[in-house]
Structure 1
Amino acid sequence: MRTINVPIILINLQDDGFHLLVEIVVFRQKILVVLDTGASRSVFDMAFIKTHLSEVEYSEESQATTLFSTATTLQAVIPKLKIGRLALTDYETVALDLESVNQTYGSLGHPEIKGIIGSDILLKYDAVINYKKMKLYLYAE
Structure 2
Amino acid sequence: MEGEVAKMMKIPLEILTLEDNSYHLLIDVLINDEIHGKMVVDTGASRTVIDATLAFAIDELKETPYTSGIGGQVDVTFTTLNSLALGNFLIEGVSLAMIDLSTVNEAYKQVSIEPIIGLLGSDLLLKYQAKIDYKEASLYLE
How does the TM-score come out when normalised to structure 2? Answer: 0.88
Deviation digits for residues 40-75 of structure 1, max 9, x if unmatched?
A: 111110011x1213xx31113333222322211111
Aligned to 2:127: 124
Where in structure 2 are there 5+ consecutive unaligned residues?
1-5
What SS does structure 1 have at the residue aligned with 2:105? helix
Asked whether 1:30 is paired with 2:33, we answer no
Give CA deviations for 1:103-130 in whole Å, capped at 9, x if unaligned.
0011111111000001111111111111
Matched-pair identity in %? 29
Segments of structure 1 that go 5 or more residues without pairing to the other structure are none
4+ long deviations beyond 3 Å = none
Maintained 8 Å contact 2:81/2:92:
yes
TM-score by length of 1: 0.89
- The one-letter code of the counterpart of 1:12 is T
CA distance in 1, matches of 2:50, 2:27: 14
Aligned to 1:78: 81
